Amino acid sequence: MFRNIGFLVLLCLSFFFFSSIVSAAEPHELTPEELNYLYNELGFTEEQIALSPVSDLKDLVAGEAETVMSFDEEYDMENTSSKNTSSKNFSTLAAIPSADLSFSGRILKIATSDVSGYDKYYSSATFRWLNHPAFNLTDKMTIGFPSSLGVFFKTSSGNIVGHYSTTTLYNKSTGGSTVLASSTTPSTWQPALGVASAHNLRTTLNSNQNNAGQVSQYFYVKSSLAGNANVQFQYGHKRISGTVGITFGTSPGIGITPSTTTDIRSYAGQFSY
């Protein structure tokens, strides 16, 4: 009898565990209308949609979000310039010869805000390596704002909210991604200045796999203000070992700490508020 009870308990636990896995692996619950808005109105890619929380995507559609700034760059790590920009303030990656990095980002303004007196915005950045890193490292991305803008982040129980980051393996042959880690807490953040995310790169990859990741953050700006603001997106890669450092300032606020062993890919954008 006890053996039968034990078997039933084990069977129920196994069913619960398996059901959790299946549920987590199900496609995003988005309607064709929502997908159409994300693809055609906001310019999301299939990969970006797959890596974003369903609640955020639905919020963007329901809030009639509009793009106020976006970029899509591919940086050549062997040469010292981007294939899509004339900026020359890049260093080379001796550890990763001929490795390209795809780096993109956007700022969206949401028509409806859940904070009285403030306009609501959504910022995000995505990276994907097009080659394999030589070492297993912890890279970082930052989204930095000037302190003069007075950006506001919502908090709960002492933690910043409206944040999401993910580290994935992108499969070139299928176009799909496998999530390795995700977090709703920034790696680093500073009031009014910005947020950072950490991404542990993998070296044990097959020929079809590449390291990739994404970070997103909601932020708010006083509705009574009007003007133009800068935002800086950065990706920091440690050449040999360790973790990329973060620095704080007033403009752009939060960013990657420059060093002789860290390569920085940076994009300066602007938007009207």
**Digit-coded pLDDT (tens) for 89-128:** 334 444 444 568 899 999 999 999 999 999 999 999 999 9
The answer, yes or no, to whether residue 79 has pLDDT greater than 70, is no
What's the number of CA atoms in the CB half-sphere (13 Å) around residue 44?
A: 25
Phi, psi of 184 (to 5 degrees): -105, 10
The mean pLDDT of 177-206, rounded to a whole number, is 92
Query: pTM for the full model?
Result: 0.81
Scanning the structure block, which residue is given the tokens 């109105």? 41
DSSP state of 27: P
The mean pLDDT of 183-191, rounded to a whole number, is 94
* Each residue's pLDDT tens digit, 162-176: 999 999 999 988 888
- Least Cα distance to 232 among 16, 75, 69, 61 occurs for 69
Q: Hey, is 40 helix, strand or coil?
A: helix
Query: Which residues neighbour 133 within 8 Å (Cβ) at sequence distance 6 or greater?
Result: 95, 96, 99, 201, 203, 211, 237
Please provide the average confidence, as pLDDT, over all residues in the chain: 81
* Each residue's pLDDT tens digit, 196-228: 999 998 887 888 999 999 999 999 999 999 999
The mean pLDDT of 60-83, rounded to a whole number, is 81
DSSP string, 116-149: TTEEEEEEEEEEEESS--SS--EEEEEEE--GGG
